[in-house]
Amino acid sequence: MKGIVRLQILTQNNTVKKQAATTLGYLHCWSKIQSNVRARRLCMVTEGQIKQKKLENQLKLEAKLHDLEVEWCGGAETMEEILGRIHQREEAAVKRERAMAYAFNHQV
């Protein structure tokens, strides 16, 4: 009981009220800054993962192209058609990864 009365007496002072309001304002700003930093870090991590996947997909595509050039026997499709189909598949994989990252970031 004594602590509550003492706190009430202290908060009746205008300088203490101003100091408390200022402190609360600074704490509010600090929490906003922390949430922004967390959001940026998460964004950087997901961007890094997307870049890594893109690099891996590019390496896989180059390996497929090399195998295709070695094994291509002049079938019904032209080389450009085959390359276009492979490129579309790789783009679809990248889009799926982006959609998964977006869904992960916006989970409730």
Per-residue pLDDT of 15-31, as tens digits, reads: 777 888 898 899 999 99
Q: Give the model's pLDDT for residue 31.
A: 92
Residue type, 31: S
Q: Give the model's pLDDT for residue 43.
A: 86
Q: Which of 4-8, 36-40, 57-61 has the lowest mean pLDDT?
A: 4-8
Give the pLDDT band of residue 44 (cuts 50, 70, 90): confident
Burial 5-43 (b: 16+ CB within 10 A, else e): eeeeeeeeeeeeeeeeeeeeeeeeeeeeeeeeeeeeeee
3-state secondary structure of 53: helix
Q: Is the pTM of this model over 0.75?
A: no
- Which helix (H) or strand (E) is 73 found in, with range? none
CB 50 within 8 A of CB 43: no
